[in-house]
A and B are shown apart, each in its own frame.
Chain A
Amino acid sequence: MTLGNKTKHRWLEVMAGVMLLLAPLAQAQAGDEAIGYVKTVTGQALVITAGQSVKAQPGTAVLLGSQLKTGRAATLGVTFKDGTVMSFGPDTELTVDEYLYAPAQDQLKLTARLGKGSLNYLSGVIARLKPSAVQIKTPVGIIGVRGTRFVATVEEGL
């Protein structure tokens, strides 16, 4: 490095300033970016994000914090950015609480809550690179995934 100490210091200050400016931007955008898309729907299904309810159709975006909801005779299928595939049977509610997919920065996390109903889950890159990063919470217990496929059902009141 041929930079003098003073120049280096100045450079660090500028960098820190830029990062401070960018930080709120990154936060504001965290919930606006699609983390997955609806691929299949039969019957009435909803994607509810920040209190806003959207009728699920193939192509509907799923965001961080979205709740996926199927009606009495409905089904829904979603593919996430990392290739995780989830599909749901009737009368199901699942909320995506955490989703981080930046393999280059080693930021990997998927936490979802299955409130009720049935789920067919297929691992994507997140579980493959970091198995401990995937958790499906239910009112009864927590499912941990070790690179795999499973189905789970939750009945209310249990």
Chain B
Amino acid sequence: MSRSIQNALGLSVLALAALSVGCAGPRSYVVLLPSPDGSVGKVTVSGPAGQQLLTRAQTGTGLDGGKPPFEVSSEKLARDFGAAISARPALPEQFLLYFSPGGAALTAESDALLTQILARAKARTSVDLSVIGHTDTKGDAKANESLGLARANTIAALLRQMGLPDVPLSVESHGERNLLVATPDETDEPRNRCVEVTLR
């Protein structure tokens, strides 16, 4: 091999190395992706070399915070994150059940929804549930907390009766302190008389 070819080869190897380093970008990095609903949020990075803000999908930045955002190809995403992405559990599912005023009796529509919740719970592998009672702001907060708990317990008991397998289930009451629809105090609001069932 002539000297000049050797030199040329050496140079191109160097160039390739430089190029691949350039393409590779930082080895520790974060990439913003669209949420399952299609929306794109924001990610901030703060590190020893500075701060960065990601606002566009499929842009990334090194975790040291020193370099401005860069585009990340789908190939690179698949290579670096394919395994993690493929391991994603099924997304949580949420159901809202509504009650007649002041008591723990379900409306007719919500009664029917229970069957659907049960079917979905059985269809998921390794499901756990939370059953959270909510009330409207009619009456005092303490009484509403108890009422919310009574509603949540009613639903949990119904689901068990209907054949919900023995899976982790938490029963909570948020009473009138976590309104699904914001209202002033002492407001009769059917949409707040509710039990929220989440399947995870």
A residues near B (Cβ < 8 Å) are 34, 37-40, 42, 58-59, 61, 75-79, 81, 83, 85, 87-90, 92, 103-105, 118-120, 122-124, 138-155, 158
Contact = CB atoms under 8 A, between A and B. Distances in A.
A119 B85 CA distance: 8
B35 A87 contact: no
A39 B89 contact: yes
A150 B46 contact: no
Interface residues of B, number: 52
Interface of B: 26-36, 39-48, 54, 62-65, 77, 80-92, 125-126, 128, 130, 168, 170, 174-175, 177-178, 198, 200
Q: Which of B41, B45, B64, B88 has the most CB of A within 10 A?
A: B88
B174 A149 contact: no
Given A58-B126, A104-B175, A149-B35, A120 B84 contact: yes
A87 B88 contact: yes
A151 B87 contact: no
29 contacts: A38-B126, A61-B168, A75-B83, A81-B200, A83-B200, A85-B91, A87-B89, A88-B87, A104-B177, A120-B84, A122-B91, A138-B28, A140-B48, A140-B62, A141-B46, A141-B47, A141-B62, A142-B46, A143-B43, A144-B44, A144-B45, A148-B35, A148-B42, A149-B35, A150-B30, A150-B32, A151-B33, A152-B29, A152-B31
Contacts of B200: 37, 39, 79, 81, 83
B122 to A, nearest CB: 15
Nearest to B90: A39
Main secondary structure of the interface of A (DSSP, over half): strand
Contact of A140 (B31, B36, B41, B64): B64
Nearest to B200: A79
B40 A120 contact: no
Contacts of B27: 153, 155, 158
Contacts of A39: 89-90, 125-126, 200
A143 B126 contact: no
Contact of A118 (B43, B45, B81, B178): B81
B89 A103 contact: no
Given A90-B83, A103-B174, A143-B43, A154 B63 contact: yes
A123 B35 contact: yes
Contact of A37 (B45, B82, B168): B168
